Amino acid sequence: MRSNVARRQPETKPASSPASRPYRIEEQVGYLLRRAHQRASSIFQVTIGDPNITPTQYSSMMKLHEYTELSQNHLGRLVGMDKATMQGVVRRLKERRLVDSRPHPGDARRTLLSLTTEGHRLITKLLVNGPAVSRETLKPLNNQEQRQLLELLSRII
Amino acid sequence: MRSNVARRQPETKPASSPASRPYRIEEQVGYLLRRAHQRASSIFQVTIGDPNITPTQYSSMMKLHEYTELSQNHLGRLVGMDKATMQGVVRRLKERRLVDSRPHPGDARRTLLSLTTEGHRLITKLLVNGPAVSRETLKPLNNQEQRQLLELLSRII
DNA sequence: TCGGCATCGTACGTACACGAACGATATGGG
DNA sequence: CCCATATCGTTCGTGTACGTACGATGCCGA
C-alpha cells in the first residue's frame, strides 16, 4: 500500500479562496451523489421486504397506486425516468403480473397502465417498510440535517 | 415549498403513526438521490469536454493519475466500485488505449493498471473542466449551501 | 383537407451496478 | 509442509439509464 502522506499542505484556510481549493474527486458533488445513491439502493434492497423489487419499480408502483391509471410516458415523467428506461421497468412489472395495461380509448398511441390485484397487495405490503428505508439511509444525520439534505437535494434536481 | 410547521414536537413521538408526515415518494432520500445523480451525470456529459468519457471512467483515470499504478480491485475500492463493475470500466478504457496493464511482479493474481501517454494527455485536458461540472451542478445553491450539501453527502456514504 | 410536426411506444446499442459462481493464486496456522 | 481460507480477476444474469432511430398515431394550421 502506497503511503499518501507525502506532502502536507500548510493549513489551507477554510473558505474564501475557492480557486485555490485543490480538486479532489472525492469532494466533487457528482462523485458523492453516485456513492450516496449506491448506498441508498443497497439499503433499499435489504430493507424494503422483497429482494426482487427495485427502487424504480417501487416508485412506479407507488405512482400507479396514487393515480390508478397512467400512460407509460406520463408515468415516466412523474418518476423522472426516460421513456426507454420506463419501457424496461414496465415490461418487467408486467411479466411479474404486478402491472396490467389496456389501450387508451380515444388515443391509439397510448397504453394505460394500472396495478393488478397482486400489485396492489404487494405495494401495500412494501409501503410499511418505506419509512424504514429512508430512516436507515439518513441515520448518520440528526433531524435538522436530514431535513436540510432533503431540501438541498430537491433544489439541485 | 412546504411550510415548516415547526411546532416543537412534544415527547409524543408518533412512533407508529406519523400522521404529521405523509409518505411521499418525492420526499424520500433515495428517490432524491437518484434524480440528483441523473442530473449530475447529464451535466458531466455535456460539460467535461469529451462525450465518450463517463463519470466512472473519469474517476478511475483520476485515481490512476494520482497513484501511477494500481491493481484493478484496489482501484475499485478507491473509487467505490464493485469489482465486476470495475472490470467493464477497465476493459473499455483499455480498448481505447487510455489505460495499460502489466502483471504484478510477485503476485500472479494481480494486474497493475496505469494510464497510457494518451490517457495522461486526455485526463489532463478534462481536468480543466472538472470544476465547471461541479459548479454547474451546484448552481442552484449558494456557497454555504454547497458546502453543506457536500458535507451531508459525505456523511451518509 | 392535407401536410408538417409532436407524441407514443418500441428497438438497438452502450454503459454502470451488483450478486453469484468460478478458477487461479497467495497466505497463515497447525 | 499442507490445507483451509482469503484475495484477485473473470463471467453470467438482471436491472437501471439514456441516446438514437423508427413507425404509428394525433393535432393543428394553411
Mutation site, B37, B110, B145, interface A, largest A CB count within 10 A: B37
Q: What is the pLDDT of residue A15?
A: 53
CA nearest neighbour of B64 among B102, B98, B110, B103: B98
pLDDT digits (tens, 9 = 90+) for A23-41: 999 999 999 999 999 999 9
pLDDT at B1 over 90: no
| Residue A72 CA, nucleotide C5 C1', distance (Å) | 22
Average pLDDT, chain B: 90
CA nearest neighbour of A113 among A54, A55, A50, A61: A61
CA distance to partner chain A, nearest, from residue B70 (Å): 10
Protein footprint of strand C, defined by Cβ closer than 7 Å to any strand atom = A 34, 38, 41-42, 71-74, 83-84, 87, 90, 104, 109-111; B 52, 54-57, 81-85, 88-89, 92, 106-109
Phi/psi of residue A66, nearest 5 degrees: -80, -40
For strand D, is any atom closer than 7 Å to the CB of B104? yes
Size of interface A-B (CB pairs under 8 A): 144
Q: Which CATH class is domain A26-155?
A: mainly alpha
CB contact under 8 A, B149 and A156: yes
For strand D, is any atom closer than 7 Å to the CB of A59? no
pLDDT digits (tens, 9 = 90+) for B123-150: 999 999 999 999 999 999 999 999 999 9
Q: What is the pLDDT of residue B21?
A: 76
Contact with chain A for residue B32, Cβ under 8 A: yes
pLDDT at B91 over 90: yes
Cα separations in angstroms, A73 against B27, B35, B104: 22, 17, 50
Q: Which three cell numbers stand for residue A78?
A: 412523474
Kindly tell me the sign of the dihedral angle through the C-alpha atoms of A47, A50, A54, A56. Answer: negative
The domain B54-116: what is its CATH number?
1.10.10.10
For strand D, is any atom closer than 7 Å to the CB of B73? yes
Q: Are B129 and B47 in contact (CB under 8 A)?
A: yes
Task: Using the CA of B38, give the nucleotide whose C1' is nearest.
Answer: D17
Name the band, by pLDDT with cuts 50, 70 and 90, for residue A21: confident
- At what angle are helices B72-79 and B55-67 packed, to 10 degrees? 120
Per-domain residue ranges for chain A? 26-155
How many Å separate Cα B79 from the centre of its chain? 8
Cα separation, A93 vs A114, whole angstroms = 11
Phi/psi of residue B121, nearest 5 degrees: -60, -45
* Paired strand residues for A99: A115
- Strands ordered across the beta sheet of B111-115: B70-71, B111-115, B99-103
Q: DSSP string of chain B? A: ------PPP-S---SS--TTS---GGGSHHHHHHHHHHHHHHHHHHHSS-TT--HHHHHHHHHHHHHS-EEHHHHHHHHT--HHHHHHHHHHHHHTTSEEEEEPTT-TT-EEEEE-HHHHHHHHHHHTTHHHHHHHHTTTS-HHHHHHHHHHHHHH-
Cα separation, A37 vs A8, whole angstroms = 32
CA distance to partner chain B, nearest, from residue A104 (Å): 26
Phi/psi of residue B70, nearest 5 degrees: -150, 150
CB contact under 8 A, A152 and B141: yes
Which pTM value belongs to this model? 0.86
The cell 502536507 sits on which residue? A8
B residues 79..138 contacting A (CB < 8 A)? 79-80, 127, 130-131, 133-134, 137-138
| Residue A84 CA, nucleotide D30 C1', distance (Å) | 35
Q: What is the pLDDT of residue A19?
A: 56
